[in-house]
Copies of this chain bind each other. A is one copy, B any other.
């Protein structure tokens, strides 16, 4: 995807260095940051310089590469490596991609018997994960665009209005995005689309990131506060909702950015199709009841009490509550599968049921 007409990935390896687009500065400044250590990687994930389930998975895998380099420099490889891997894995709890990608890279390191080749094994796996996630997102676009094409046919040239939440765009992935991949593909095919971008307080990834992305790609879009999702649907102004996912249960309950559940309720109440777009790396096959079992991250309440934006003197933060106020800050919520019309995955679109998912992933069927 492009920024100021130049092609970028969200996370990439270049000349021996891991680089990311610093998402805490967008849309007001476009900053590329280098991550040189395990500590850099953990901090970048924790403070969300890199965020989005696929993107933190890939970054975590590269973190394992850095962990193997750092462990090589100390006397005893294994304990140092194991400790670092555990810490990277725990940087954020809700997205399953992080644990999945870190485990995969760590296993490659463990499986490599020669100490001097472990670093290369980690790097190769991180690059493999990157390419797989890239390909998954591309495929999600090719699958999901069919939904948009169907609606476009009924709209006789009027734009298809798609609502999304948070940023499940290319910034959340390596490229293409998950929820945005079908939208970008639709634009490529010359379909008329218009995107409703929901703010996504507390961190406002909708306004900061999704609006930035869509603007860079000339996709028509309009911003709304999270509260306005209901009235837009009541008035027939939304044809389709597509959101991303940080962790899905095998029964298709979907943990995503807090507020997704409210949009799903409004979609159901107004007969608007509600789709979750995700790579299969976001499916946690071990979980049956997502609402009960998926761990929901609680984040620093300063995110709720303060808002950051562009002030007269650059990027500033303002207090938006009485100075003595206390807050709560759940990062995610879980949308029960009964509210989800379908899942859009790299292998296809399926109903949001365990059986629907298993038809696409028969290798996951239990005996």
Residue positions of A touching B, CB distance < 8 A: 27-28, 199-202, 204, 207-208, 211-212, 215, 221-232, 234, 257-259, 261-262, 265-266, 269, 291, 296, 301, 304-312, 316-330, 332-334
Contact = CB atoms under 8 A, between A and B. Distances in A.
B228 A330 contact: yes
Contacts of A230: 258-259, 261-262, 265, 333
Contact of A262 (B208, B211, B227): B227
Nearest to A200: B227
A196 B317 CA distance: 24
A330 to B, nearest CB: 5
Contacts of A28: 319
Given A215-B324, A258-B227, A262-B229, A311 B309 contact: no
**Binding site secondary structure of chain A:** mixed
Contact of A204 (B265, B320, B333): B320
A47 B332 CA distance: 34
Number of copies: 2
Residue in A202, A221, A228, A230 with the greatest tally of chain B CB atoms within 10 Å: A228
Given A262-B266, A309-B319, A227 B201 contact: yes
A319 B328 contact: no
A304 to B, nearest CB: 6
Contacts of A200: 227
A223 B311 CA distance: 24
Nearest to A322: B27
B259 A327 contact: no
A176 B334 CA distance: 37
Contacts of A324: 215
Given A200-B227, A311-B311, A321 B208 contact: yes
A47 to B, nearest CB: 18
A321 to B, nearest CB: 4
17 contacts: A204-B320, A211-B321, A215-B322, A223-B327, A224-B304, A224-B329, A228-B329, A229-B262, A230-B258, A230-B259, A231-B258, A231-B261, A231-B332, A265-B265, A307-B307, A310-B323, A311-B311
